[in-house]
Amino acid sequence: MSNVRVLVGTRKGAFILTSDEKREKWDINGPHFGGWEMYHLKGSPADPNRLYASQSTGWFGQLIQRSDDGGQTWEPMNNEFAYEGVPGTHQWYDGTQHPWEFKRVWYLEPSPTDPDMLYAGVEDAALFRSSDGGKTWQELAGLRSVKGHLWQPGAGGMCLHTIILDPGNSNRIFVAISAAGAFRTDDGGESWRPVTHGLQSGYELPDPKAEVGHCVHNIAMHPSRPDVLYMQKHWDVMRSNDAGESWHEVSGNLPSDFGFPIAVHAHEPETIYVVPIKSDSEHYPPDGKLRVYRSRTGGNEWEALTKGLPQSNCYVNVLRSAMAVDSLDSCGIYFGTTGGQVYASADSGDTWMPIVRDLPAVMSVEVQVYHD
Amino acid sequence: MIKVVLPAHLRTLAHVKGKVELEIEGPVTQRSILDALEATYPMLCGTVRDHTTQQRRAFIRFFACGEDWSHESPDALLPEAIATGTEPFLIVGALAGG
């Protein structure tokens, strides 16, 4: 019997939602770490009971929590994220150089094969790795040498929010950073380079085709085709067929190509999902209708998925890490909103239902399938 | 024994209820209290002061005997009542509401 566990990070704690494989009835467990901002929780693919969580507040800073029993109990791990060497500077809002300062962990990506190995994407933007289950952290500092002095914070901070590990090549990692761009390593994190050719940011950058500075919101990959990447940029939904060497736009008939999350169907590598919002200054769905858009052609041709979603007076947002897919057949899609709802579809997006309606603003959603 | 009152979230993190009692040899200062606190409860490292700079976090305050000591030197001697354990040393989450 398969079970599903949805890990929800909110502005005021974490929640764990569980169901059997039918995904009809859900148990809601939480809040865990009540009152703390939970930017991200994620389970180890190699051991579904091993969970990691990023916990922070403005008062007490950053904590990393680990569970070895599927979220029933938690243990604080090392929370020291020290930049390697002299941290250096990056560009500040006023154009001056500003020292790199650690603020929080936005994203955790456990290794697909080793429960003790994980990566952390942090603000100010940098990538850290732990090979001992979170007891110690080491920066992969080569990333910041890729014109890091030109990176500057966007409205949400200078955050490294997306980490994708190539399942077929342990030396290849993709990361994305707000207002800095997308980057790739092919040597396990020693050296990096921008993978932004084809991105255009005409309204955001003086050079629309600059190597760095693009505001990448999220990237998704299907594990069976690691060279195909999908990107939700600040504006534009983009696709790469060559591991980021070049990108082309696939926004097609979307009502707006601004948004935050993007996800790929678990069994159909050409089926992708986005949640368009109106604009960079109006972070809510067009026309007050909460619509997930699905493309079964890898982009360009999109259909609105609306059954079970509010189609009037809805002005919530879906943040970049707040959409996930499960691996069941048929594929389940999950997303959380800034209004505190977590919606689920057990039929690849055809129909939706709220699992829970009134949580604090949802910052992240991840899903696991595990067996009793 | 020095008595320290922690904010509720840090009591939860440290798995303690009520006041924390710490043994301190030598001068009783903010620094020696925090050193002893972090040695006894390592999960609190980084939550009151920065790992590297040892600076008080921006939204943390230190109160002693009805006075705000947050802006005093971390090596300044605290009042006798704190050193004798008559009064607790308060670690407080600053007012940060709207």
Q: Which residues on chain A are in Cβ contact (under 8 Å) with B93?
A: 59-60
Q: Which of A60, A62, A82 sits opposite B10 (nearest CB)?
A: A60
Alpha carbons A135 and B49: distance in angstroms, whole number: 19
Residue A217 C-beta-side C-alpha neighbours within 13 Å? 27
Q: Is residue A316 part of a domain?
A: yes
Longest distance between any two alpha carbons in chain B, whole Å: 41
Calculate ∠ Cα A168-A272-A55, nearest 5°: 75
pLDDT on residue B98: 61
Query: How long is chain A?
Result: 372
Total structural domains in chain A? 1
Mutate: best of B10, B52, B61, B95, partner A, most A CBs <10 A = B52
Residue A107: pLDDT above 90? yes
Q: Is residue A315 part of a domain?
A: yes
Residue A98: pLDDT above 70? yes
* Host H or E run for residue B33: helix B30-40
Q: Which residues on chain A are in Cβ contact (under 8 Å) with B91?
A: none
Report the pLDDT averaged over residues A284-288.
Answer: 97
CA-based radius of gyration for chain B: 12
Q: Which residues on chain B are in Cβ contact (under 8 Å) with A80?
A: 45-46, 51-52
Alpha carbons A203 and A370: distance in angstroms, whole number: 45
A79 contact B CB<8A: yes
What CATH number corresponds to the domain at position A133? 2.130.10.10
pLDDT in tens, A300-327: 999 999 999 999 999 999 999 999 999 9
Amino acid found at A47: D
Residues above pLDDT 90, as percent of chain A: 95
How close A229 comes to chain B (CA, Å)?
Answer: 37
- Please give the structure tokens belonging to residue A347: 């039929």
- Please give the structure tokens belonging to residue A148: 């890091």
Burial of A302-319, coded b for 16+ CB within 10 Å and e otherwise, reads bebbbeebbeeebbbbbb
Q: Which residues on chain B are in Cβ contact (under 8 Å) with A35?
A: 9
- Please give the structure tokens belonging to residue B78: 């605290």
* Host H or E run for residue A36: none
Q: Which residues on chain B are in Cβ contact (under 8 Å) with A61?
A: 46-47, 50, 57
Q: Which of A60, A63, A80 sits opposite B51 (nearest CB)?
A: A80
Query: What is the CB neighbour count within 10 angstroms for residue A366?
Result: 21
Alpha carbons B6 and A20: distance in angstroms, whole number: 41
Query: What is the CB neighbour count within 10 angstroms for residue B48?
Result: 22
Residue A353: pLDDT above 80? yes
Question: Range of A209's domain?
Answer: 33-338
pLDDT in tens, A21-67: 999 999 999 999 999 999 999 999 999 999 999 999 999 999 999 99
Model-level pTM?
0.96
Show the domains of chain B with their CATH numbers: 2-93 (3.10.20.30)
Q: Which residues of chain B have pLDDT under 70?
A: 97-98
Query: What is the CB neighbour count within 10 angstroms for residue B16?
Result: 16
Contact A40, B36 (CB under 8 A): no
A56 contact B CB<8A: no
Residue A203: pLDDT above 90? no
Residue with tokens 């009692």: B21
Amino acid found at A278: K
How close B76 comes to chain A (CA, Å)?
Answer: 23
Through-space distance between the first and last CA atoms of chain B, rounded to whole angstroms: 37
Query: What is the CB neighbour count within 10 angstroms for residue A123?
Result: 24
- Cβ-Cβ pairs closer than 8 A, A with B, add up to 44
Put simply, the answer to whether A60 touches B43 (Cβ < 8 Å) is no
Binding-face residues of A in 125-164 toward B, CB within 8 A: none
